Amino acid sequence: MEFMKSARAILAIVMFNGVKPVIRSPLWLIVMLAYPLILVFFIYIFAEYAVSDALIGGLISLVVVSGIAIQADIVWYKVELKFQDMAVASPVSPTVYMVGMAISELVYSSPAIAPFLILMTLRGMISTSGIPMLVLSMLMCWLSALSIGFYLSTHISDIRHIWALESLLTIALSMLPPVYYPIDLLPEWARTVSMCIPTTHAALLAKEAVGIISLTEHQRLISFFVLFLWTVVLLFVARRKSVWREP
Amino acid sequence: MEAISAERLVKIYGNSFHALKSITLSVNSGRVFSLLGRNGAGKTTLLRIMATQLLPTSGSVRVLGYDVVKEATEVRKRIAVVPQESKPMYLLTVKEHVKYYLMMRGLSMAEASERTRKVLDELDLKEYANTLCMKLSGGLKRKVLVAMAIATEADVVFLDEPTTGLDPIARRVVWDVINSVATSGQTIFLTTHNMYEVEAVAEEFALINDGELIIRGHVDEVQRMFPYKMRAEVQATASDPEELSEFGKVIMVGRRLIIYPRNEEDSKRLYEYCATKSLKVSISPVGVEDLFIKEVLAHGVYEER
C-alpha cells in the first residue's frame, strides 16, 4: 500500500515537473540537445578521430546536466513558488520527493540522449557486452550529479546563484575533464588532477565499454572504485545534510 | 475537541532573535481560527511550526493530538498548507494542479480526478479547469492554491496570509472560498494582518505582537470587551484633533483620525460638529481593527491624543 502511494507520488511529480512542462515548452528539449551536439559537431570538423570520444562526452554531459538541473527546480519550487512547503506539510517523504524530481529531470534529457545513442549505434559503438558497463557508469555519474544538485539546492536560496553554479559545475564536470576528448591529450600533471573528478572515470569506463580504449584490469578496477566511492559519498552527504524541515 | 494546542512555545532564530515568546494557544476543531498580527509579529513562524515545516526551540505543539516534532509523519497525513506568497506552476492547468497534488499525497488517479472535479465545481473553478495558471488573475491563482489544500479533505488546513497582495475583489473571492469550506467541518487556521479579514471569515482569533499573544477569543466576545461601542473616522488633514478630543478618545492612524465617543450623546454631538464643519465622517460599531489599534498603541505605532 505504501509502495503504491509512493509510486503515485513519484508519477505525479514526474507529470508536473517533467512531462507537462516539456510538452508545453518543448524548446527546452532543443536547448538540452543543442549544447553537447554542437561540441560534437566542432570536434567532428577539427578532429574527426575524436568523434567517438565526443559522443561519449555528450552523453556524460547530458547525464550530468540532468542531475545538476535538479537544484534549479528544487530552489524554484522552494523559494519562488513555495511549493516545497506544501510538500513538506504533506504525507510525501523527502526521499519520494527527491526520486520524483530526479526522474522528472530525465524527462528533459531522455529525448536528447536518444540521438546520441542512435549516432553511437550507427558508428558501431554499441555492443551487447558493452551495454551493462555503459549503463552502470552513466547511472553512477547521474547519481553523483544528482546528489551534488540536491545538496546545493538545500543550501542556496537565490535562483540567480543556482543558474551560475549550474553552468560552472557543468563545465567542471563535463567540459574540462577528459570526457569529450581522449585523456592521452592531457599533460601528465593534468591527467593526475583529472583523476580526482568522477566524470573522468565514468568516461574511461564508458569509452572502454564502447571499444574506444582498452583499460588494464587494474585501471578498470580503480576507475570503477573511484566512481563508486564518489557516488556513495555524494549520496550520503545529500541524504544527511539536506534540509527538509528547517531547524 | 482541540485541533491544535501549543504550550509554552518558543522559537529563537540564531542566538538572540526571539520570534515566539512562550506561546500557549488552543484551537477548536471545525472552526476558522485567525491569527492576526503585524508583519514580523511571529504569525508565519507559529504557523510553520504547527505545519511541521519548522522546528521549535522549546515548548510543544500538538495537532489533532499528535506532537509536531515527534509524530510529524502522523501530523502530515492530516494537514494541508497554503504558504505565504505561494504561486501555482505556470505551465500546469487548474485541474492538473489539484489532481497531481492529490496524487502526490497518495491518492489514486481515479480518486484524485473525482475530488478535483468536485472541488472545482464547489469553488466555481470549473470554467478554468483547462486554463494554464499563467493566464489566471492573482485572485484566481490564490483560489487554485486554496482549492489544492481544500481538496485534500485534510482535517486541518493552514492558510498563511491567503489574501496578501490581492485587490479587494480578489480578496472577497478567497474569503468566500474560506467561508464555504468552513461549513464542511475542516479546521482552518489562517494568518493575516488584515483586521477586516478576521471579521469576514473567523469565528475565533488571536492577536500576536512581537512573538506574544495579546488577545484571544471569539470575535464577538473580544469586541464586547472593548471599552467603546462606536467609532468615528475623519480625515486627519481636514480636522483638528484637539477639538475632536472633546467628543472622546482620539487616535491618529496615518492620515485618519479615529474617535471613540464615550457614549451615544457624544456620537450625536460629533456628528453635528462634523456637519457644521463640512467634514466627512463615518460612524460605525467598533471592530477588530480597533482592538488591534488599542493593543499596538503601547508599542508606539500610533499617536494617541
Contact B86 A89 (CB under 8 A): no
- Within 8 A of A20 by CB-CB distance, chain B residues are 91-92, 96
pTM metric for this prediction: 0.85
Q: In whole angstroms, how far apart are CA B114 and each of A95, B99, B102, B108, B117?
A: 28, 9, 11, 10, 5
Contact B102, B112 (CB under 8 A): yes
Would you list the domain boundaries of chain B? 2-224, 227-286
Contact A86 B83 (CB under 8 A): yes
Tell me if chain B has a CB within 8 Å of the CB of A244. Answer: no
CATH architecture group of domain B2-224: 3-Layer(aba) Sandwich (3.40)
Distance from C-alpha of B159 to C-alpha of A54, rounded to nearest angstrom: 52
Cell of B50: 504547527
Contact A246 B53 (CB under 8 A): yes
Tell me if chain A has a CB within 8 Å of the CB of B74. Answer: no
Contact A89 B81 (CB under 8 A): yes
Query: Would you tell me which residues 90-149 of chain A have a C-beta closer than 8 angstroms to some C-beta of chain B?
Result: 90-92, 100
- Within 8 A of A16 by CB-CB distance, chain B residues are 89, 92, 96-97, 100
ipTM score of the complex?
A: 0.88
How far does Cα A197 stand from its chain's mean position?
14
pLDDT at B236: 67
Residue B209 pLDDT > 60, yes or no?
yes
Condensed to tens digits (0 to 9), the pLDDT of residues A94-115 reads 889 989 999 999 999 988 999 9
Query: Would you tell me which residues 17-46 of chain A have a C-beta closer than 8 angstroms to some C-beta of chain B?
Result: 20-21, 24-25
Instruction: Pick the closest to residue A127 from A36, A212, A220, A200 (CA basis).
Output: A212
Distance from C-alpha of B263 to C-alpha of B279, rounded to nearest angstrom: 21
* Element spanning B291, H or E: helix B288-297
Helices (H) and strands (E) in chain B, counts: 11, 15
Contact B132 A81 (CB under 8 A): no
Local confidence band at B239 (pLDDT 50, 70, 90 cut-offs): low
Cell of B119: 472541488
Classify residue B168 as exposed, middle or buried by CB count within 10 Å of its CB (0-12, 13-18, 19+).
Answer: exposed
Give the relative orientation of helices A198-209 and A131-153 as an angle to the nearest 10 degrees: 160
Condensed to tens digits (0 to 9), the pLDDT of residues A21-73 reads 999 999 888 888 888 999 999 999 999 999 999 999 999 999 999 999 999 99
Higher pLDDT, B243 or A19: A19
Contact A245, B54 (CB under 8 A): yes
Provide the CATH topology of domain B227-286.
Answer: Alpha-Beta Plaits (3.30.70)
3-state secondary structure string across chain A = CHHHHHHHHHHHHHHHHHHHHHHHCCHHHHHHHHHHHHHHHHHHHHCHHHHHHHHHHHHHHHHHHHHHCHHHHHHHHHHHCCHHHHHHCCCCCHHHHHHHHHHHHHHHHHHHHHHHHHHHHHCCCCCCCCHHHHHHHHHHHHHHHHHHHHHHHCCCCCHHHHHHHHHHHHHHHHHCCCCCCCHHHCCHHHHHHHCCCHHHHHHHHHHHHCCCCCCCHHHHHHHHHHHHHHHHHHHHHHHHHCCCCEC
pLDDT at B172: 84
Taking residues B275-290, what's their average pLDDT?
81
Instruction: Pick the closest to residue B189 from B29, B24, B9 (CA basis).
Output: B29
Cα-flanking dihedrals φ and ψ of residue A154, to 5°? -85, -5
Q: Is B228 helix (H, G, I), strand (E, B) or coil?
A: coil
